[in-house]
Structure 1
Amino acid sequence: MSTRSRAVLLGAMAAAAALTLSACGKGGTSGGGGNTNFVTGNNGIDTVAAGQRAAAPDLSGQTIDGKSLDVADYKGQVVVINVWGSWCGPCREEATYFSKVSKQYAGKGVQFVGINTRDTSTTPAVNFEKEHGIGYPSLYDPTGKLMLRFEKGTLNPQLIPSTLVIDRHGKVAARALEALDDTSLLKMLKPVLAEK
């Protein structure tokens, strides 16, 4: 392979990786091919029927305040996962809504967990949570390793922000690849919470 061809290939790979892991936008399309078993709604929320859901991967590690956290410990509850970065404008837009809904559903079988990614230290992440009144824990994932644990072709987080709803059985039920307000967030959460 020539030096020029190698440079073009490496540039294309870097661009694809940058779009996948550090995009900070208002939406996107799902990856993977074949029958993924999920349906994209016209509201930007992808959903999967209960019998066809993929298990959430291992989402564990240190939080931005240095504590250990394993999302699997919340099995039996509905878990809302929000992937965010303190540097992300749309993340700032939705943070107040996530704070509001997490407080509204505290003690009602719902646990919110953030995944802070692409911040080079925890200081801006901690300040972001204080500024926006976020009271739930956030895993610290500066390199995006937790995002990469989701299998291709499943409801995986592909942009920042991304939001996932994990059902009581630890399976991914819904995903949004855009900033959400409280109304949109509740459209994702309520159907999964209503499941028995």
Structure 2
Amino acid sequence: MVVTVALALSACDAGGSGGGTGTGGAAGADGVAVVPAGERVLPRALAGRTLEGRPLDIADRKGQVVVINVWGSWCPPCIAEAPHFVEVAKETEGKGVAFVGIDTRDPDRIPALAFQKDLGLPYPSLYDPTGKLILDGFPKGTLNPQTLPSTIFLDREGRIAARALRAIGADGLREVITPLLAEK
């Protein structure tokens, strides 16, 4: 029981270090690293097929604040944070915010589709069973692909503006999204 509780309270970490953002930001006490506007970088191509098999390119969401949540159906903290993402995605719908998931290390789509359905995710998730999209899509140092859940926030220009390498709640999401929406 103690092991289950400890795992549920920590990130699903398969090794590796959270480290810095690699883009000039420093993690705050809440675990969210915010990158100053002048130090932000663009991710590489973040495109592929959703869990349902439809094409999705995150670059198509330029002009919006994009919240990218990296999750796995087998990850207890991913399951625990999902209701917060659902809540904030619904309350920011139509307000210039786009949510996208990246399901990783699920070798079969069936548990990932069940995760998405059971938790009511109102946004699409790219399917990345090997983690290749994550490794190729983010510049070195911006995202530790072994740490789940992880969340990357892109500003309206599509640049990496913040990241959280742990589960994040609704208030934490709002604290990052609100100033990004206010940027011109």
Give the match for residue 112 of structure 1: 99
Give the match for residue 6 of structure 2: none
Tell me how far apart the structure 1 counterparts of residues 66 and 157 of structure 2 sit (CA, whole Å): 10
Question: Could you tell me whether the CA contact under 8 Å between 2:21 and 2:163 is conserved in 1?
Answer: no
3-state SS of paired residue (1:146): helix
The amino acid of 1:165's aligned partner reads F
Alignment partner of 1:162 is 2:146: no
The amino acid of 1:59's aligned partner reads L
Tell me how far apart the structure 2 counterparts of residues 173 and 54 of structure 1 sit (CA, whole Å): 8
Give the match for residue 182 of structure 1: 170
Q: How far does the alpha carbon of each residue in 1:53-105 deviate from its partner, in whole angstroms, 9 at most, with x for none?
A: 01022110000011000000000001000000000000000001101100100
3-state SS of paired residue (2:69): strand
Tell me how far apart the structure 2 counterparts of residues 186 and 157 of structure 1 sit (CA, whole Å): 23
Tell me how far apart the structure 2 counterparts of residues 156 and 189 of structure 1 sit (CA, whole Å): 18
Percent identity among equivalent residues?
A: 53
Question: Could you tell me whether the CA contact under 8 Å between 1:157 and 1:164 is conserved in 2?
Answer: no
Tell me how far apart the structure 2 counterparts of residues 194 and 32 of structure 1 sit (CA, whole Å): 22
The amino acid of 2:18's aligned partner reads T
The structure 2 residue matched to 1:78, chosen from 48, 65, 71, is: 65
Question: Could you tell me whether the CA contact under 8 Å between 1:118 and 1:141 is conserved in 2?
Answer: yes
Q: How far does the alpha carbon of each residue in 1:1-23 deviate from its partner, in whole angstroms, 9 at most, with x for none?
A: xxxxxxxxxxxxxxxxxxxxxx7
TM-score (norm 1): 0.82
Tell me how far apart the structure 2 counterparts of residues 85 and 60 of structure 1 sit (CA, whole Å): 18
Aligned residues: 170
Question: Could you tell me whether the CA contact under 8 Å between 2:25 and 2:36 is conserved in 1?
Answer: yes
Alignment partner of 1:122 is 2:123: no
Q: CA RMSD in A?
A: 1.8
Q: Please identify runs of 4+ aligned residues in structure 1 that moved more than 4 A.
A: none
Tell me how far apart the structure 2 counterparts of residues 193 and 129 of structure 1 sit (CA, whole Å): 26
3-state SS of paired residue (1:174): strand
Give the match for residue 29 of structure 1: 18
Question: Could you tell me whether the CA contact under 8 Å between 1:40 and 1:46 is conserved in 2?
Answer: yes
Give the match for residue 7 of structure 2: none
Give the match for residue 4 of structure 1: none
Tell me how far apart the structure 2 counterparts of residues 30 and 57 of structure 1 sit (CA, whole Å): 20
- Once the two structures are superposed, the pairs formed by residues 11-160 of structure 1 within 5 Å of their partners are 24-25=12-13, 29-30=18-19, 36-149=23-136, 150-153=138-141, 155-158=142-145, 159-160=147-148
TM-score (norm 2): 0.87
TM-aligned CA distance change 1:168 to 1:157, over 3 Å? farther
Structure 2, unmatched stretches of 5+, are 1-10
